[in-house]
Copies of this chain bind each other. A is one copy, B any other.
């Protein structure tokens, strides 16, 4: 199964905007895009995940799976985000066993949404 990893590229993460400098969300997206892309994970930039007070944010979704949104992330978390996305893509329902989730996914969940077909 292929999972989509949506990355909010417009998030300021509470920082002031400096002209000519990428915002925090753009830096997170760049870090994810620069890493080797895992099989079965497609990274998709989006303009807002409406999690502005808990940015940076990413969302994971896949057909027939629970979707998840994580927040308070930064470019430093790119490797863990990708590892967690690979584990997610390996499931049939989006439910990764707790101990197999990266710590940022255990601690920084903003929300999850049941599968559409539920």
Prevailing SS type, chain A contact patch: strand
Q: Are A116 and B63 in contact (CB under 8 A)?
A: yes
In the docked arrangement, what's the CA distance between A63 and B114, Å? 13
- Report the bound CA distance from A88 to B109 in whole Å: 24
Q: How far is the CA of A54 from the CA of B111 in the complex (A)?
A: 9
Residues of B within 8 A of A113 (CB): 6, 49, 59, 61, 67, 69, 113
* Chain B neighbourhood of A69, CB < 8 A: 69, 110-111, 113
Cα distance, A44 to B116, chains bound together (Å): 12
| A111-B51 CB under 8 A given contacts A44-B118, A69-B69, A116-B116 | yes
Chain A residues with a Cβ under 8 A of chain B: 4, 6, 44, 46, 48-51, 54, 57, 59, 61, 63, 67-69, 71, 109-114, 116, 118
Taking the nearest CB of chain B, how far is it from the CB of A69, in angstroms? 4
- On chain B, the residues within 8 Å of A48 by CB distance are 112
**CB pair B110 A51 closer than 8 Å:** yes
- Give chain B residues whose Cβ lies under 8 Å from the Cβ of A51: 109-112
